[in-house]
Structure 1
Amino acid sequence: MVVSEGMPLRLLHEGRWVVSRAWVRQLTGASAGTLARWYAERHTRPEGCRHPEVVHTVGRTHYFDQQAVEAFWAAWQEDVGTGRLGTAGRKPGDGRGGYGGADRARREQAVAVALAALRAEGGYRRGLAARLAREHGGVARSWQRALNEARALYEAGDAGAGS
């Protein structure tokens, strides 16, 4: 019998197998946050795709009917698929540090400022991100990301101008 934090992952209760959240995590590969969300939002899902209710508790460990969990997981895979288990509330980004809209507009402005600084300096210099943070506000790490984007534009522009 496998145990988690001193509690078994699976045990026999009233003639049926019950499983802990740790067991469900192993079965599904979902994070603890995703499991908590599935359970919290179970009443918003259709009857066949709903996370099962707690049937037994030992200490602070909740146990669910194993057959119900397996049925839930099969229905979830059919409904949603295994490619995306469901994130714990993250929005999809554009891959460049923003979610679009105002965030991306601020990033574009920061990249433009960084590009102007690169042109004025004749290229990248160590400490440039910290200087931009002091002059324009914000943190050096955010300016470093803006500089990384600006450097790619700067270097592409220089390569294109020389050809």
Structure 2
Amino acid sequence: MVSRVWIRELTGASAATLARWYAQRHTQPLERRHPEVVVTVGTTHYFDQQAVESFWAAWQQDVGTGRLGAAGRKPGDGRGANGGVDRTQRDQAVSVALAALRAEGGPRRGLAARLAREHGGVARSWQRAVAEARALYEQE
């Protein structure tokens, strides 16, 4: 019998990936299906070691190990700076917000909500864009 800690050491997978494999086991072909829990002691689930090793060998053969980090959020700085379309859109929104700050002579209450109404999008996204624009405005 082996625990999820042992499986993590064997596969190199994160806890989130292991949870996903187990939760989605019924959607996988039998040879690539994560084994069922054999016994639970306290809150720890234990699995048959031979079944886990067979599952992992089939997974590596069919899928490989390149997708192990697919669970969870993509790395970045929390501001959409991990590249791609999101950062481009954020930069455009910051430019619009900076122009609005310049036109109004500084920050005004409700600016993000107004920009969301005028340009579309979610007010929270505009709040972030206004915050970045405000930092740039104050540097000028």
TM-score, normalising length: structure 2: 0.62
Which segments of 5 or more consecutive residues in structure 1 lack a partner in the other structure? 1-17, 122-127, 152-163
Q: Which amino acid aligns with 1:136?
A: A
CA distance in 1, matches of 2:64, 2:32: 12
Segment drifting more, 27-36 vs 38-47: 27-36
**Alignment-derived partner of residue 21 in structure 1:** 4
Which of 45, 62, 66 is equivalent to 1:62?
Answer: 45
Task: Tell me the secondary structure at the aligned position of residue 68 of structure 2.
Answer: coil
Cα shift readout 1:31-88 (whole Å, capped 9, x = no counterpart):
2121111111111000110000111222221111111111111111222211211533
CA distance in 1, matches of 2:60, 2:87: 28
Which of 83, 86, 89 is equivalent to 1:95?
Answer: 83
Q: Which has the higher helix share?
A: 2
Cα shift readout 1:90-149 (whole Å, capped 9, x = no counterpart):
58x97247399xxx4xx365133145369x59xxxxxx7xx37853345697227864xx
Question: Does the aligned pair in 2 maintain the 1:110–1:146 contact within 8 Å?
Answer: no
Task: Tell me the secondary structure at the aligned position of residue 2 of structure 2.
Answer: strand
Q: Which amino acid aligns with 1:135?
A: L
Q: CA RMSD in A?
A: 3.7
Task: Tell me the secondary structure at the aligned position of residue 129 of structure 2.
Answer: helix
Task: Report how many residues are paired.
Answer: 117
**Alignment-derived partner of residue 143 in structure 1:** 129
Question: Does the aligned pair in 1 maintain the 2:94–2:130 contact within 8 Å?
Answer: no
CA distance in 2, matches of 1:83, 1:97: 23
Q: How does 1:68-83 map to 2 (within 5 A)?
A: 68-83=51-66
CA distance in 2, matches of 1:145, 1:96: 21
CA distance in 2, matches of 1:82, 1:132: 51
Mark the CA change 1:142 to 1:82 in structure 2 (over 3 Å): closer, same or farther. Answer: same
TM-score, normalising length: structure 1: 0.54
CA distance in 2, matches of 1:65, 1:21: 11
Question: Does the aligned pair in 1 maintain the 2:37–2:47 contact within 8 Å?
Answer: yes
Mark the CA change 1:117 to 1:36 in structure 2 (over 3 Å): closer, same or farther. Answer: same
Question: Does the aligned pair in 2 maintain the 1:52–1:69 contact within 8 Å?
Answer: yes
Q: Which has the larger radius of gyration?
A: 1
**Alignment-derived partner of residue 116 in structure 2:** none
